Amino acid sequence: MVSHSELRKLFYSADAVCFDVDSTVIREEGIDELAKICGVEDVVSEMELVSRLQERNVQVFLISGGFRSIVEHVASKLNIPGTNVFANRLKFYFNGEYAGFDETQPTAESGGKGKVIKLLKEKFHFKKIIMIGDGATDMEACPPADAFIGFGGNVIRQQVKDNAKWYITDFVELVGELEE
């Protein structure tokens, strides 16, 4: 178990930071956004944090149990390459009818976010990966993530608030950490 001060140091020196998307990077759940054709205006407040991380050569990833078509749109607004997006792919029949989702994606499985982080460590040899999110599945990704930062700026999930070593409600706090 790392202390709060150790967690702050880990964040400051991270090789990579992974964000959940639904209710973290965007205010709504993806399925709600799909119905509204993905209103990504909510992303603006998170852009500064992502930009600061990228300026420090920190790799930024979006890991979501939501739909890749939505998450890729959010990623483009944040200048995150599509190769740094891990989410579920929708499948359609040739006639255009919905056929389900691609079960081969790691995010389609229980513990999928942790599997993605393990894959990132193996592929890129990251030493310190931070996971930021609002939900239990985000918290469960640590380990293999080296630290978890709970986020309650859009939705407060009591389990996350009670169990996260570092719980924030505004990304401004993390931007401030990078300025020290």
Say yes or no to pLDDT of 165 above 70.
yes
Count of CB atoms within 10 A of residue 73's CB?
Answer: 17
20 is catalytic: yes
- The model carries a pTM of 0.73
pLDDT in tens, 39-51: 444 454 567 788 8
Kindly name the residue from 22, 134, 138, 146 that is annotated as catalytic: 22
Q: Pseudo-torsion of CA 104, 109, 114, 120, nearest 10°? A: 10
- Among residues 15, 20, 134, 170, which one is catalytic? 20
> Domain 2-175, what architecture?
3-Layer(aba) Sandwich (3.40)
Instruction: Establish whether 32 is a catalytic residue.
Output: no
Query: Residue 63: enclosing H or E segment and its boundaries?
Result: strand 59-67
